[in-house]
Amino acid sequence: MARTAKRGLQDEYLKIVRKLDGDPEGREAGVSYLENTESHSIEDVRGWAMNAYVLDAKQHETLSEAARIMGSIMEKVMAKYHRDRSFRKLFCLDPRIEEFTLVPSGCHAAVPLSRIDLFFDQKTLDFQICGIDTGGVRGMGPCADVSRVVRATNSYSEFAAKHPTVEDFDPVRECALTVLHTYGNWANAQEGRNHPTNPSLAVVDIEGSTRAAETNEVITCLRGMGCYARAVTFSQLRIEKVGGIRQLVDDEGPITCVWLRARADEAAACKSAGVDLLGEATRRGLVCTVGGYRSWPCCTRSFLSLLHSMEVRQLLSWEERAFIDAHVPQTHIIDASADISAFYDQDQWVLWTKDGHQLQDVEAGSNMSKAAWRNRLVKAIKRRDAVQAHIAQQPMTVVTAEGEAERNVMLGLYVFEGKLSGVDVTSGTDAPIANWNDHLDIACLAVR
């Protein structure tokens, strides 16, 4: 609790909520609002906190620098990946997935959209990166929604009166702007039937995607910007001649821009011919595909492992190498050449399944007996799983309708076109690397 008490602005916000006895009026208004949002109206409704995670100017600067540097690192590594076959082999990707990653998109950036998950110590400003998501970048809808809810409470009004420079984040809007800006820089954006600022846009995903509600929020935002956008599945895609010109189309007409939300592993498992058809349309320059699979290697454990290798370090500046040494935990792919005895100290390591990047893919040695952990390491050799240094999670006192509790907190930095474009704050209990029970969303504010 001592660490929590020294968090300055965040502790000040907590005191306001306590003074208002949990701000029941604000909570009631928040519940009413969330019941009518896409992201919180699905069956798996997540809770939210009345108090906010507050960044001061130095903390915001630290995270902004983290976004800039990590964005630069990903661009350099992916540039090498796409031009060097021998370098690609280091990632050991499934051939089908590797094929996806080599489809040129025509975008000016290899990684226009990403989310970097990390544990951040607000007192020391240290942080450790535990995962990266690109392309579909999850969690933007709930992040934006809970910010709007907290902004409408009495607690926020009182805090903002004392700190008029306070601001929050809207990654949904920033994502929409990034997709449009990326399309605007596409080489073919001003040719033929294309329109440089107002594309006919499809958000493409697999059938039954868990991202559907969040996709609808982004589509609503895009439509508010004057863009004709809709949600499309692979099975709805076709290539047809329209006015004598071959174009990618769905049932609603031609498509000139795609924001691809499906992950590469999902596409590889999808039986629809539309998966390869989208690749063909993108390769032929019929459509600009934003996100997509070209940045998929950044999502893998192999990427985090290779960041510490000489093959990657020689690509980077001194600043970027120092960043990796300080903030990217040791990650190793376990294969037949690995000495698994180096990982016997089970409290110091967690295991990720092969190419796993979802939190449910994590197994912690601290949750197993010594014998079970060593048996699991043996199995990891055949499966080529990854072992990663255990990261200390950061606690925060949160206020809900049930009262106060201390929970672990993880930040998701939305990095769009190389800059910090949002901060998703989630919390929970009883799990390593944020695969939590009793998941809560927390609004993030910045006072600069």
User: Is residue 286 a part of any domain in this protein?
Assistant: yes
**Closest listed residue to residue 60, CA positions, set 331, 445, 416:** 445
CATH number of the domain that residue 269 is part of: 3.40.50.1760
Alpha carbon distance 170, 338 (integer Å) = 44
What pLDDT score was predicted for residue 154? 94
Beta bridge partners of 386: 333, 352
**Per-residue pLDDT tens over the stretch 5-55:** 346 999 999 999 999 999 999 988 888 888 777 655 544 456 889 999 999
261 within some domain: yes
Counted domains in the chain = 1
Give the whole-angstrom CA distance, residue 304 versus residue 258.
Answer: 28
Mean pLDDT of 243-252: 90
pLDDT surpasses 70 at 255: yes
What's the distance, CA 116 to chain centroid?
A: 6
Name the residue range of residue 218's domain.
175-295
Q: Which whole number is the average pLDDT over 79-98?
A: 95
Residue 157 lies in a domain: no
Closest of 354, 388, 438 to residue 117, by C-alpha = 388
Average the pLDDT over each of 31-40, 60-69, 226-235 and give the range with the smallest value.
31-40
Nearest to 279 by CA among 266, 263, 270, 292: 292
**What is d(CA 308, CA 208) in angstroms, rounded to the nearest whole number?**
37
Q: Which residues contact 254 (CB under 8 A, 6 or more apart)?
A: 193, 200, 242, 247, 248
Mean pLDDT of 105-128: 92
Whether 408 maps to a domain, the answer reads no
Residue 386 lies in a domain: no
In a domain? residue 240: yes
C-alpha span between 152 and 142 (Å, rounded): 16
pLDDT category at 2 given cuts 50, 70, 90 is very low
Q: How many whole angstroms separate alpha carbon 38 and alpha carbon 27?
A: 19
Residue linked to tokens 């059938």: 207
Residue 140 within a domain: no
pLDDT at 4: 37
φ and ψ at residue 370, rounded to 5 degrees: -60, -45
What pLDDT is stored for residue 30 in this prediction?
A: 84
- Residues of the chain with pLDDT > 90, as a percent, come to 66
The answer to the question of residue 112 being in a domain is: no
